[in-house]
Chains A and B, each alone.
Chain A
């Protein structure tokens, strides 16, 4: 469905220097640095996938999304999406996609939400029947009924985001680009948005490409992860594999009957200790968890035990460090 090959894009950025003298000089002669936002990026995405696109700030996530949605023209490389080249066949191509920028609204600020929806219907030339069906479905699943008649500026961020997502799904797109859809949302709204994204993917088969800094988004939604750093793809694969490869540490928390003496278990490192609870970190490549538990039960009288995988956040931080991005 989406094939990206050898995509490159660089920006000319004026050098900013401090000081009045430098600033005056810059009025007449400006020095530029070339920033490679994308360096030879290739990947392909199948219909119906949800792909999480992650990377630190400035890694090139947004640039990729912008190239794929026809906003930017790349310097080199090809990108074929449903047979279109986004920046060449812009008008006929964008009819088939939805784009949500988490930080920018696509609705008209001062008018009721329903007016924006109707204008979008005219812009996308959505047939009346299709529009009505889609609207009914979206209103129901996203609980928009009470919001439709209030102006966008009066909505909370979570309410607005629900409307934004609804707006981009009105024309029944085949691909949905979500650029940080959960940014700034509270826990409840986040979960609602995630559930909804999952639903439309499962029920309507919409292919979804999602950028985010919230790893819980990725965990809840994406089977596949693309990690980008400094303009290159560093990892492309299943989230589970990523976890298996890098997230080999587990934390074991044990509660036990009071035990005055501090104890050590070989092959683990003690993270915290009190007379009733201890937390260990285990590298599962070195030591088996079952071994640790056997050792533990020999030493203390166990009450409770819990084993947690390393949070995905930590894995990503570790990855960023490893690739020095």
Chain B
């Protein structure tokens, strides 16, 4: 873990070599989801509510998933940009160092500019929470943290899966974006507004539903039945990471390097 922070430090130093580019990208990253959020705002301006969810509730949904996405893009960027690591043969270097490949790939790249996106989602989160009458308890606060951790795990898991594909094919990885970007766009809204099969897919296969929709029902007092069950749903997101890591280790053995 301390090694990870050493990596972070050196990459931060590198990033600071290019200050202008850093600030421009950070501002850009702040503005992109802002436009998405504006879309959400005007939608509710027109329709008032969707399937029993009002604007601030959906905003909370939005904030959580975007926050998770920003954090995972920031820290798991190494996996997101993994194809270049394979493409130019730098993964060779990773393999001749006595540390786990996961830590090293995570440490190969950080996208500090995603702090812009993170800041934006934090602002939305605070705004939404301020305008919602929630009876807060310690458990609810823990649930909220779990939700974000869960989201980060799922995105990281997807990035790892996409990266694993690079061991077999260098190109054609846009497919995975359907699940990362697509999943993010879908999970901006509570999952019950979609068709049954969509809801099922994003609950049981890629459990985005467990990041915000299900636990939010508990936090917002919409849940029926066992509260504990709703509260613990974010754990599914963390569990999702495990098979991804397993697949990764299988992939590493298939690595075939590039000629030099």
Q: Do A and B come from one complex?
A: yes
- Contact status B260-A62, CB under 8 Å: yes
Q: Which residues of B contact A309 (CB under 8 A)?
A: none
Contact of A106 among B93, B95, B255, B256 (CB under 8 A): B93
Q: Of the listed stretches A65-73, A222-230, A246-254, A265-273, name the one at the interface; the rest are far from the partner chain.
A: A65-73
- Contact status A70-B260, CB under 8 Å: no
Q: Of the listed stretches B3-11, B49-57, B229-237, name the one at the interface; the rest are far from the partner chain.
A: B3-11
Task: Decide if A103 is an interface residue (CB 8 Å cutoff).
Answer: yes
- Contact status A70-B96, CB under 8 Å: yes
Q: Which residues of A contact B137 (CB under 8 A)?
A: none
Q: Which residues of A contact B19 (CB under 8 A)?
A: none
Contact of A115 among B2, B13, B96, B259 (CB under 8 A): B13
Task: Decide if A90 is an interface residue (CB 8 Å cutoff).
Answer: yes
Contact of B95 among A71, A104, A108, A179 (CB under 8 A): A71
Q: Of the listed stretches B33-41, B97-105, B118-126, name the one at the interface; the rest are far from the partner chain.
A: B97-105
Task: Decide if A235 is an interface residue (CB 8 Å cutoff).
Answer: no
- Closest chain-B Cβ to A166's Cβ sits at a distance in Å of 16
Contact of A122 among B6, B11, B89, B93 (CB under 8 A): B6
- Contact status B14-A122, CB under 8 Å: no
Task: Decide if A48 is an interface residue (CB 8 Å cutoff).
Answer: no
- Closest chain-A Cβ to B159's Cβ sits at a distance in Å of 22
Task: Select from chain A the residue with minimum beta-carbon distance to B16.
Answer: A110
Task: Decide if B84 is an interface residue (CB 8 Å cutoff).
Answer: no
Task: Decide if A124 is an interface residue (CB 8 Å cutoff).
Answer: yes
CA gap between A70 and B94 in the complex, in Å: 11
Task: Decide if A151 is an interface residue (CB 8 Å cutoff).
Answer: yes
Task: Decide if A111 is an interface residue (CB 8 Å cutoff).
Answer: yes
Chain B contributes a number of interface residues (CB within 8 A of A) equal to 26
- Closest chain-A Cβ to B27's Cβ sits at a distance in Å of 22
Task: Select from chain A the residue with minimum beta-carbon distance to B103.
Answer: A123
CA gap between A111 and B16 in the complex, in Å: 10
- Contact status A111-B95, CB under 8 Å: no
A100-135 interface code vs B (CB 8 A; 1 in, 0 out): 010110101111000110110011110000000000
- Closest chain-B Cβ to A78's Cβ sits at a distance in Å of 17
Q: Of the listed stretches A91-99, A288-296, A298-306, name the one at the interface; the rest are far from the partner chain.
A: A91-99
Q: Which residues of B contact A99 (CB under 8 A)?
A: 96
Chain A contributes a number of interface residues (CB within 8 A of B) equal to 35
- Contact status B97-A111, CB under 8 Å: no
Q: Which residues of A contact B13 (CB under 8 A)?
A: 110-111, 115
Contacts A72-B257, A103-B260, A115-B10 known; A122 to B96 CB distance under 8 Å?
no
Q: Which residues of B contact A92 (CB under 8 A)?
A: 98
A3-33 interface code vs B (CB 8 A; 1 in, 0 out): 0000000010000000000000000000000
CA gap between A66 and B17 in the complex, in Å: 34
- Contact status A11-B256, CB under 8 Å: yes
Task: Select from chain B the residue with minimum beta-carbon distance to A69.
Answer: B96
- Contact status A122-B260, CB under 8 Å: no
Q: Which residues of B contact A118 (CB under 8 A)?
A: 6
Task: Decide if A83 is an interface residue (CB 8 Å cutoff).
Answer: no
Contact of B14 among A11, A66, A109, A123 (CB under 8 A): A109
Q: Which residues of A contact B7 (CB under 8 A)?
A: 119
- Closest chain-B Cβ to A26's Cβ sits at a distance in Å of 13
A196-222 interface code vs B (CB 8 A; 1 in, 0 out): 000000000000000000000000000
Q: Which residues of A contact B196 (CB under 8 A)?
A: none
- Contact status B98-A104, CB under 8 Å: no
- Contact status B98-A94, CB under 8 Å: yes
CA gap between A104 and B257 in the complex, in Å: 13
- Contact status A73-B253, CB under 8 Å: yes
- Closest chain-B Cβ to A143's Cβ sits at a distance in Å of 24
Task: Decide if B90 is an interface residue (CB 8 Å cutoff).
Answer: yes
- Contact status A123-B99, CB under 8 Å: yes
- Closest chain-A Cβ to B120's Cβ sits at a distance in Å of 27
Show 12 A/B contacts (Cβ-Cβ < 8 Å), sorted by A.
Answer: A69-B96, A72-B257, A90-B95, A91-B99, A91-B100, A94-B98, A103-B260, A104-B88, A110-B13, A115-B13, A123-B98, A123-B99
Binding site for A on B (CB under 8 A): 2-3, 6-7, 10-11, 13-14, 17, 88-90, 92-93, 95-100, 253, 255-257, 259-260
Q: A71-B92, A122-B6 are in contact. List 12 more A-B contacts (CB 8 A).
A: A69-B96, A71-B96, A73-B253, A90-B95, A94-B98, A104-B90, A110-B13, A111-B13, A115-B13, A123-B98, A125-B98, A179-B260
What are the 6 closest A-B residue pairs judged by CB atoms, nearest first? Answer: A110-B14, A95-B98, A99-B96, A71-B95, A110-B17, A122-B6
